Each structure stands twice: as C-alpha cells, then as structure tokens.
Structure 1
Amino acid sequence: MLRIAELVSSELRTREVLVRDEEPPSDYGKKPEERTADELVEYGVINLDKPAGPSSHEVVAWIKRLTGLEKVAHAGTLDPKVTGVLPVLLNRSVKVLPYLLAEDKEYVGVMRLHGDVPEEEVRKVVSLFKGPVYQRPPLRSAVKRALRIRRIYDVKVLEVSGRDVLFWMWCEAGTYVRKFCHDVGILLEVGAHMQELRRVRSGSLKEDSSVTLQDVVDAFVFWRDEKDESLLRRVIISVERAVEHLPRVVVRDGAVDAIAHGAALAVPGVLRVDSGIKAGDTVAIFTKKEELVAVGKALMRSEQMVSAKKGIAVKPEAVLMKPGVYPSLWRAR
C-alpha cells in the first residue's frame, strides 16, 4: 500500500518519501559515520578549495602522490586562475564521477568592462542571459568545439564599481563563464572579460565546508604517522554526502548483495523511494543504514516502485559496495 512516510527537506530539494514496506534493523553493514579511517578513504570525497595557480589535473596529481592512493579524480575542471569548490574523489568513489560532473554549479566572479557603461544598463543586459544560451567551447578546451546550449538558471549583478562588475551565477554543468563575460561585453558594445572567478558550489558541495591542500596533506600525515584520525575525518566526507542531490531508493538487506554483484533491483527488494522519480532518471540505491550501494537508471516511476507486484525498478550503472558486506540471500533461492 502506498504511504507517505516523511518529508525530506534541504536547500536543494524537497521530496516526499513513499513507503512500500518496512524491515526491522539488522547487524549488517554500518552507517557511513561509523566507518574506519581506511573505509572512509576507500569511500571518500574531498571538498577541496582549489587555489589559484595549478590546474585541476595538477591538483589531483599532487594529492595522488602525497597520499599514495591508487585512484584519485576530480569532478569539474577549473582553469588554473579559478579558485573554489573542486570535488576530489578517492578510490571506489571514483565510480560516481559521471554523476558529479553533471551537477549544477554556482559561481561568484568579477567581470571587467572595457568601457564606461551606466550601472542600470549593465544590470539589464546581464539579466538577459537567464535561461538557455548558445556557447562554443574555447580553443583551449578538452571537449569538441561544437556549438551547444547550456542553461543559466539565475544570474545577478551584486555590485558595480567603475568598470568592475561583481556577479553571481547559478548554471548548468559545462557552462563557460568566461564566454558569458565576453558576450555581455558584446551586447554592451564596449567589450568585457572575466577578471576573477570562484566556484562556490558544485552540486551538494559548498565552499563553506571546503578544505585546503594543506589540510589534506596534514590529515594524511597525522593519520599515518601519529595514528590521529581527527583531521582526516574533517577533511574527507563520505561519498553519500556527495550524491545527496540524487533521488533515493532504499532497499532490503537481502537485495544489497545481489546489487553489489551487478544485478538489477526488482520491486520486491524496494523498501521506500523518493517521490518524483520518472523512468530514465538517475537514482541512488541506499541501504537502511544510509550506505550507498549503487547509482543507476530508474525503469519506472516512484509510484510504480511501491505498488507494482513485479518488474525491474532500477538498473545499476555504477556499483560502489563490495560483495559480501551483506548476506547472499539471493543465492539460496
């Protein structure tokens, strides 16, 4: 029977949770905050405050060399001069990279005009860029220079001082802010360029909880040399926090190991789901203890997941949990 269990609220989303069934607590698995230091590193993400100077790839190379980790990757390239939030994924968390790359972003920047323009006119022209915009990647780009459409969800002028314009932007992943500044200059008929830029949010990761490269180095030194985990636990967050923007599907203990082996999630294995899920949406599969099992594509709507008697609810695309953490009940059937 379809029931509304609770209301999940955050700054990014508000979703009702639809319940299919309930299951008593078990001794299997563990909550993300109860992981050992080694497990935290294995399933961790660093919300890094990238400094000006190095490229995103250089930052990742430094972290990999300094920590000795086998797998390190970043989600969302920042130019060398750009600072701010750079999600860095460690070891098994690298599997969610494609889903973090697609997250929306927020920036604060300074645009320098090449001529004098009344503030009212600047604000008027900047407001015109809210919505879909055509952009072509710059010559020095890692992607094909094909004309494409990106969406600017919101953009505001915060302050104008002479020819310097302080602005805030909320945009789709892959939006070139430098191109935005150039295009504003064209419409104002004086020219303009991006003087400074800082990313203040990437998906669910914000600058107020970011850490520095020095914090990362110190955390690993204290942990490995002095057996002090305190800084490590502040520097590394669980991968679960990095995918908070994705709608959730919570599953039975008996379904977890099958998914960990790559099996699709059938509706009998579903306990509860976020409302608003449509077929084709990307969703995160969680245990009752809020461990991320996998990320995949929904094959039916939320309401169908909690009411259907049979069928496949989610097809996993990236499996994070290792087999054997939960019992292999599916093998006994």
Structure 2
Amino acid sequence: MASHGILLVDKPAGLTSHDVVARVRRAFGTRKVGHAGTLDPMATGLLVIGIEGATRLLTYVVGADKTYTATIRLGARTSTDDAEGQIIDIADGERWASVDDAAVMAGIRGLTGSISQVPSSVSAIKVGGKRAYDLVRAGESVELAARPVTVSRFEVLAQRREDGFLELDVIVDCSSGTYIRALARDLGDGLGVGGHLTALRRTRVGGFAVTDAVGVDALDGAVTLAPAEAAARVMPVLHVTADEARDLRHGKRLSGQSGRLDAPAVAAVDPAGDLVGVVEARGHDIKSVMNMPEVQA
C-alpha cells in the first residue's frame, strides 16, 4: 500500500510539475497524487506533494506564503517575461542613462508591500476555460486582470553588469499568487529598460523548506511527512480526546467549543497523534470541514 502523507520534492529544471507527479505515482504505486502549486519547467525548487489521503491537505497548503530566489536581467524584455521567450526589446545606452543603483532600489521599493500585479500572460491562469499560456502559444492576445498580492521582502543579494545588461540576484518573500516573472517585468518597465527572469528557485512554501526535500532520483523509498506533522506546518493544532475525534469523524459538532480555536482553519489531532481533519468554528460549535481517512491498525 502507498504511503499516506506529504512528500517534499526538489524539482530540477527541465521537468514540469506534472512530470514530477508522474514519477511520484510510479515510485509510490498510486494514482492518488497531487501537488500544491505549479513550478514552470525552467524553475527549480520545492514542490509539496500529497499522496493518498494526504492530498486532501493540499487545499490548505496552496494558499501559504512562499520564498523564492531569482535572477532578474534588466535591459531586455521577452515575450514570456523569462528566458524561455523571444527577446522583443533591448535597451540602448540612452535608456540606461538614468538607471543607477538608487533608481533600481527605488523601483524595488515600489514593488514591495501590498501591490496590484498583472500576471504574466504565459501563466496557468484560466481565461474562458483555457490556460493563458495555451492561448498565447496559439497566437492569441491575452489580457489578464490585475490582482492584489503582497511582497513582504524583495532584496538584492548581488548584482553584475554583463554585456550591456544588469543582472540582479534577489530573494522574495510573497503571498500565494505572486508572479516573480511579473516582478522582473515590472521592475524593468518602471526603469524604462525592460526586464525578464533568467533563473527561479522556490525555497519555501509555508512551513515547508526545500532543504528537507528529496531529488527526483531519490523517490524510491523516500520518507513522507505524516499528515498531522504536515498540517502543523501550515495551521494551528487542536488536540482532541478520543471521544471528540470519533464525533468529528462522524460529522458531529463539538458543541459550545469554538472558543478553543484561534484561527479560521485548525488541525484536529487525536491522542494517538493522527490527524482527524481540519476544523473551523460554526457559531459556538466546532465542525470538521475536512476529514482524513482513518488510520488502519
């Protein structure tokens, strides 16, 4: 029987997130595998994979904040806002005249905090039931609506001037739904020289870190996180008695107990350390909104 838990995988460049899911399915002998948040083929880093019943937890992982390291090349725009696309504009010397370190830092400050961001047109967002990137590849023009995101850290780690371009190695902490390609594009546009992403690595998703992940060549026999441990990394924990666990699993409410919750979604864990499910307040009661399959002895 396949493991029942969360697997952290360090995706290499060149593979799609779906490719990684397919490899996990083969390694664990189950079709019931999903992931919390796609990475582009050019990107590397953390994929949070759910196996068997733990796929139910992925809904609560998708919205977690994330950390990325990236390289932004200023001085050129591409059709995809990253190095995979065609170069559509290169800044000449005149456009570089006002781009000094102070201007770059001011541009970064303007893209930090609560901002409105237009996602890249080659994103996986659906437009009329189709992925935006599929429409773009089919030659259609795609206009995506701006959406609010939060960039809590946008920091330059190193910079290099090469062949008429300025490359910035950056680290970004951001809310779910933030596009790092769009940050590169908007920074370049704001400076008047254009910009795109040349490297991207996701190092954290909520309480999960890439340093704890396994490579795609080490999936056979890889150890998964138990659902209770995984849930504790993305939400508070409520320890319940055996009787309370039974009631929650059977769809009953814990009457008058909502004061025990300190967040909208909380992981209920039974005395054996198993995840009962995710609970929330309903009036004065506690109700399970997602039950995990019971562990078989």
TM-score normalised by structure 2 residue count: 0.79
Matched residue SS, 2:14:
coil
Aligned to 1:318: 290
- Please, which moves more after superposition, 156-165 or 146-155? 146-155
2:237 pairs with 1:248 = yes
2:286 pairs with 1:294 = no
2:183 pairs with 1:180 = yes
Cα distance in 1 for partners of 2:62, 2:219 equals 22
CA deviation map 1:37-80 (0-9, x unaligned) = x58x12x1111001111111121122213332130000011111
Aligned to 2:138: none
Aligned to 2:14: 53
User: Contact 1:250–1:273 at 8 Å: present in 2 too?
Assistant: no
Matched residue SS, 1:236:
coil
Which of these residues, 98, 110, 114, is aligned with residue 132 of structure 1?
114
Cα RMSD, aligned residues only:
2.2
Aligned to 1:259: 248
Amino acid at match of 1:52: A
Matched residue SS, 2:50:
strand
- Please, which moves more after superposition, 108-117 or 86-95? 108-117
Cα distance in 2 for partners of 1:137, 1:182 equals 10
Higher helix share: 1
Aligned to 1:213: 216
Matched residue SS, 1:149:
strand
2:73 pairs with 1:112 = yes
Amino acid at match of 2:230: A
Aligned to 1:191: 194
1:323 offset after TM fit, Å? Answer: 8.0
> Percent identity at matched positions?
30
Aligned residues: 254
Amino acid at match of 2:152: Y
Stretches of structure 1 that go unaligned for 5 or more consecutive residues are: 1-37, 220-231, 301-310, 326-333
CA deviation map 1:75-98 (0-9, x unaligned) = 011111100010010000001111
1:127 offset after TM fit, Å? Answer: 1.9
Aligned to 1:164: 167
User: Contact 1:283–1:298 at 8 Å: present in 2 too?
Assistant: no
Amino acid at match of 2:103: E
User: Contact 2:60–2:234 at 8 Å: present in 1 too?
Assistant: no
Matched residue SS, 1:317:
strand
Shift in alpha-carbon separation, 1:57–1:265, aligned structure 2, 3 A: farther
CA deviation map 1:265-284 (0-9, x unaligned) = 3346x9x956xx25xx1111
2:231 pairs with 1:238 = no
Stretches of structure 2 that go unaligned for 5 or more consecutive residues are: 76-90, 127-143
Which of these residues, 53, 56, 68, is aligned with residue 95 of structure 1?
56
Aligned to 1:23: none
